Amino acid sequence: MRISVCCIYKIENCTNGKVYIGQTRNSCSRRSAHKTALLQGNHFCTEMQNDFNNGNKLKFSILETFPDNVSDKILTQKERYYIFLYNSIKAGYNTNFPKATTNNTIFSSRLAYYRKRAGMKQEELAAQLNVTPQAVSKWENGSFPDGTLLPKIAEILNVSLDVLFGLKDEEPEPDYLNEYIRKLSELEEAERTEQAVELFYKFLCAYDKNIQPHQVQFPDHPPRVIYAHLRADSALGLMRLNPDMQFFTFVKIPEKGVGSYARISDRMLSLFRLLSDEDALRLIEFSESLPRDYILTMESFSKHLQIPEKKIRQIVTECIHLGIIWELKADVGGNIMNTYGYVHSVPLTTILVLAEALINFISNCEPDVDIWKKGAFRSETD
């Protein structure tokens, strides 16, 4: 016993594949009405009647059911959706489908919206669909694509057909960045680092308006030292691309410039005086090579570096003052000893890496985005 439902249904010709799409609130009575009309030879669709008379088998099936209280508007929208999905106006039995209902401004406007959201021009969408740009333009101005293209359009634009046809609310723009970061976090550390390097490179390239996103390709094993460089009013960026040493640094410049943060102070001067001392640089380099939580004494520093203990004491004292080394008292067999641990400071290591880049001249840059008008340090009049 068949149960009658409110639905969108399909009548399919099992011989030639043509279909008819319809809507009904009583599937059993509608199926019976079609069958009776065909048997009596007076079906409203002449082409279906002719195929039936020629012995073609017709199959009635339900595509989607709805609650009994669904609105006529929803049923009509869904019927229209399936008609275009099955292309049953041009290649089926819905040849008398009212022309007015095909002028779907919702579909046209949403197609244009999601194409632009995907960052595609009409020409680019047309190329992926093997149609002309003029065809895409027509779709965005009131006409419909061939029904066979609809699934491909939805796939390319990363949106459901229900949304394109206005059957569901517009989908919020996907958070591609968070999704990418989630996938990045699932990788092993080495692979995650490789992916991060490529991501930073693409990030800097995005500042160059002459580079299309699909053209960006990370240079593998460049034959010379090469950087990606950015200087804008709002940001500074630098990246070394060679695999022997890769780094990325980015500074968002405040409206008033970086001077309010990077001030010339006594501590700043102390740091640069320290870094101008070769013995201090040797101690920092040695300390940075040590494993985590490694503790030394003044005597051990002196022995490892072959630097007099008096000079080591001066350097370590200054490092403690600047927060580069921390001091800890240890009870060794009843004797209290001063021991020292290196902080493994990211800013300090970065300063040394950037200093090496600076003294070797940054000349080969791809891209070299130079769009600034204001300096990073700004005066009150800027």
pLDDT tens for the chain, 382 residues: list them: 568 899 999 999 999 999 999 999 999 999 999 999 999 999 989 999 999 999 999 999 999 999 999 888 778 878 888 888 888 877 899 887 654 444 467 788 889 988 888 888 999 999 999 999 999 999 898 777 877 788 889 889 888 887 887 767 766 666 677 777 888 888 899 999 999 999 999 999 999 888 877 778 888 888 889 999 999 999 999 999 999 999 999 999 998 899 889 989 999 999 999 999 999 999 999 999 999 989 999 999 999 999 999 999 999 999 999 999 999 998 888 889 999 999 999 999 999 999 999 998 888 898 999 999 999 998 766 5
CATH 1.10.10.10 describes domain 221-382: yes
Tell me if domain 6-99 and domain 221-382 are identical in fold. no
Can you tell me the distance from the alpha carbon of 163 to that of 154, in angstroms, rounded to the nearest whole number? 9
Closest CA to 360 of 242, 219, 232, 237: 242
The reported pTM is: 0.56
Can you tell me the distance from the alpha carbon of 299 to that of 234, in angstroms, rounded to the nearest whole number? 48
CATH 3.40.1440.10 describes domain 6-99: yes
Domain spans in the chain, listed from the N-terminal domain onward: 6-99, 105-164, 221-382
pLDDT for position 99 = 47
Can you tell me the distance from the alpha carbon of 141 to that of 296, in angstroms, rounded to the nearest whole number? 75
Phi-psi region of 344 (alpha: psi -120 to 50; beta: other; left: phi over 0): left
Residue 12 and residue 61 in contact, taking contact as beta carbons nearer than 8 Å: yes
Environment class of 341 (CB within 10 Å of its CB; exposed 0-12, middle 13-18, buried 19+): middle
In this structure, what are the phi and psi dihedrals at residue 3, rounded to the nearest 5 degrees?
Answer: -100, 130
* 3-state secondary structure (DSSP) of residue 265: coil
CATH 1.10.260.40 describes domain 105-164: yes
pLDDT for position 251 = 95
Structure token pair of residue 368: 């070299």
pLDDT for position 333 = 85
The β-bridge partners of 25 are none
Closest CA to 206 of 376, 371, 377: 371
pLDDT for position 90 = 77
Structure token pair of residue 379: 């005066």
pLDDT for position 165 = 78
Spatial strand order in the sheet of 247-252: 247-252, 235-240, 227-231, 365-370
